[in-house]
Chains A and B, each alone.
Chain A
Amino acid sequence: MVELAPSPVVQSAEIPLKPESKRENFVRAYRWMLLARTLDEKLAALYKAGGKISGGVFLGTGQEALSTALGVALRKGDVFAPLIRDLAGRLAFGEPVLDATRTYLGSRLGPMRGRDGNIHRGRIAEGQMAMISHLGAMISTTAGVLLARRMRGQTGTVGAISIGDGATSTGSTHEGLNTAAVEHLPLVAVIANNQYAYSTPTSRQFACEDLLDRAKGYGYEGHSVDGTDLEACLEVLQRAVDRAREGHGPQMVVARLLRLTGHGLHDDASYVDPKLKASPVGADCLRLAEKTLLERRWAEAKDLASWKAECVKEVDEAAAQAMRDPAPDPKLEDWSALNEPEMLDLGLATRG
């Protein structure tokens, strides 16, 4: 039988996991952001070179501070349902770089085995939920994990879900957020208001003054944060995750930032208002974090260069490994969507 089981988890990078000081916390988060940005750059290069990646590539450029802050605030044993632009948070939460390159490059050895691609990946057993494309769907699913744990008497873990301004308009999001609140679950809902859902500006997405107003409506504790400011994100996300863990019920974090990329690489995002790009909301969180590191003398330029070189090395190795991997082989697939072989429908017209 072929190896169809996902390969074992390999912890990514030698980035320290238990920082004590504010500086260490900031540096550690910055390095996750840098790793995510570097991996995004690699994926973009592979996409543009053509022939390597089937389907789209969806970057998290500009959202790394927020996403990382969520990833580092979570612990092993928590549950995280990321969305499109959460590469940084996924890495910080423990996703190996190799999972990303393998899923984008369609390796048979990746967690999705070529059956799903790009951002649709996860390791459910590790608490890394595998998102479906339907926005808001993962909220109630994450709530279900938390509810089951409570029913079994398991406490102390939290669940985090990530959505954007666009997903706040779906019925699934409404139902999921409300259901989690009714059950008073330790859920942290992080809304990245990145100003555009594909090409649709927020003025065509919702009419309330601030999405944070919805926190009160749903019965969540609400937190607002500047998504370009890593320090603020670290503080606010840690507080939200801590509040959920301590039993204060569901938390909602609304971050203001700008998506610094198209919806995918196929999209030049020419519709983005230049005034927004030039405004503080359009700042690049990674560059701002570097500025902070240098200004506070938490790092020197040579440190930044050396960390970048480490990221490039890790990313290049992961991409090269994924390209060496075997591609999925239709002849080796079992073509079964059920776990129970005796319930397969043997009379179906799959052979013509």
Chain B
Amino acid sequence: MATTYLEAIRAAQAKALQDDERVFIYGQDVGAFGGAFKATKGLAAAHPGRVMDSPISEDASIGLAIGASIEGLRPIVEMQFADFSSVAFSQIVNQAATQFYRTGVPCPMVVRLPSGGTPGGGPFHSQCMEAIYAHYPGLVVMTPATVEDAYHLLLAAVELEDPVIYCEHKFLYNHLKAERLPEKSDLPPNKARVARRGRDATVVTYSAMLHEALTAAGDLSREGWEIEVVDLRVVKPIDTETILESVSRTGRMLAVGESAPWGGVTAEVVARVAADGFRFLDAPPRRLACKDTPVPYHPNLWAAHRPNAAEIARVLREVLRF
């Protein structure tokens, strides 16, 4: 029986609740209702008093989680959509992210952000917030792209003694399936994964864009190009070593993300490759992001707003022919 990305998130939370009595889940509609996406389905009944509905108060939900973590608990806060975490922005970046540095008291907690676009989601239910949070010192930011990572990174997030922003991609919730969940992850949370081996160019990407990049790599292999694809898994910290090691073999690099094009993870990757991997490069490092508008509602516009496999393949051909 295959497990979906969404089921993996639910299973990781069920395991965390089961294994660690400090864990509790807090968020809008996460209790008996099981969450807007059913990521907490059945958990309230299985763990009475530990899966709690919050008022529609994102700021207070994060503040409350900070207080609970001070007392030794391990809160997992579900934001109903990543977009609404902007209401909690101050608590996340000003309090949770600074607490350990200021006071020496760690602030372990997980904030789950159902992220990214789906057809019909529109400007306020489609945002990718990873670059915003990665910008602030004091946060770990995870962006799982696979069912296995959705499961193991969430478990790792609960164990870390720091605040973790866990960006789960809604487009992958039910699309993505794995035959089974491995007992252990093959990688620690600070390592990127080489998702496809290649020799001619490296695509560095994360979250839902991994699958577009893998499709593009498959298409280009029919043209005789072998594209290496690096899945960052976690965007703060970025595993620069794995990126540079790949670029040292391929000599060409394209960074792909679904987020807005000004700055962000892809810009950070290009900057690192340019600064620290210049000697490996046979072509300028490139990046590809979504268009510089809010995420549009209509499926036609939405599909054209984000990078896709065809667009990635087009830019890669330019990189390869430089």
Q: A and B: partners?
A: yes
Task: Report A's interface with B, CB cutoff 8 A.
Answer: 4-6, 111-113, 115-116, 120, 122-125, 130, 132-134, 137-149, 151-152, 171-172, 175-176, 178-179, 182, 336-340, 342-347, 349
CB A351 to nearest CB in B, in angstroms, measures 10
Judge whether B60 and A178 touch: CB under 8 Å: yes
Within 8 A of A (CB), among B100-139: 100-106, 108, 137-138
Structural contact, B102 and A120, CB atoms closer than 8 A: yes
Given A122-B103, A172-B63, A132 contacting B71 (CB threshold 8 A): no
Residues of A contacting B64 in the complex (Cβ-Cβ under 8 angstroms): 140-141, 143-144, 147, 179
List chain A residues, Cβ under 8 A from B162. Answer: 338-340, 343
Q: How far is the CA of A349 from the CA of B87 in the complex (A)?
A: 30
- Over the window 7-32 of chain B, the binary record of Cβ atoms lying under 8 Å from chain A Cβ atoms (1 yes, 0 no) is 00000000000000000100000000
Query: Chain A residues with Cβ under 8 A from B140's Cβ?
Result: 338, 340, 343
Q: Is the CB of A345 within 8 A of B238?
A: yes
Task: Decide: A5 and B275 in contact? CB cutoff 8 A.
Answer: no
Of B54, B57, B236, the most chain A CB neighbours within 10 A belong to B57
Cα distance A142–B67 in the bound complex, in angstroms: 6
| Range of interface residues on B (Cβ < 8 Å) | 35 or more
Q: Does B204 contact A (CB under 8 A)?
A: no
Task: Select from chain A the residue with minimum beta-carbon distance to B271.
Answer: A349
Bound together, the chains give a CA A179 to CA B72 distance in angstroms of: 20
Within 8 A of A (CB), among B257-284: 271-272, 275-276
30 contacts between A and B (CB under 8 A): A115-B102, A124-B105, A130-B103, A134-B94, A137-B95, A140-B57, A140-B66, A140-B67, A141-B64, A143-B60, A143-B64, A144-B67, A145-B70, A147-B67, A148-B67, A148-B68, A151-B50, A151-B68, A152-B73, A172-B90, A178-B60, A179-B54, A337-B97, A339-B100, A339-B108, A340-B160, A340-B161, A343-B140, A347-B272, A349-B271
For residue B57, which residues in chain A have a CB less than 8 angstroms away from its CB?
140, 175-176, 178-179
Which residues of B line the A interface, CB within 8 A?
24, 49-50, 54-55, 57-73, 75, 87, 90-91, 94-95, 97-106, 108, 137-138, 140, 160-162, 188-190, 236-241, 271-272, 275-276
Chain A residues with Cβ below 8 Å from B236 are 345
Among A6, A142, A144, A349, chain B packs the most CB atoms within 10 A around the CB of A144
Residue with the highest number of chain A CB atoms closer than 10 Å, among B62, B98, B104, B238 = B104
Given A142-B67, A182-B55, A124 and B103 contact (CB-CB distance below 8 Å):
yes
Among A112, A175, A346, A349, point to the contact of B103 (Cβ < 8 A).
A112
In whole angstroms, how far apart are the Cα atoms of A5 and B238 in the complex?
29
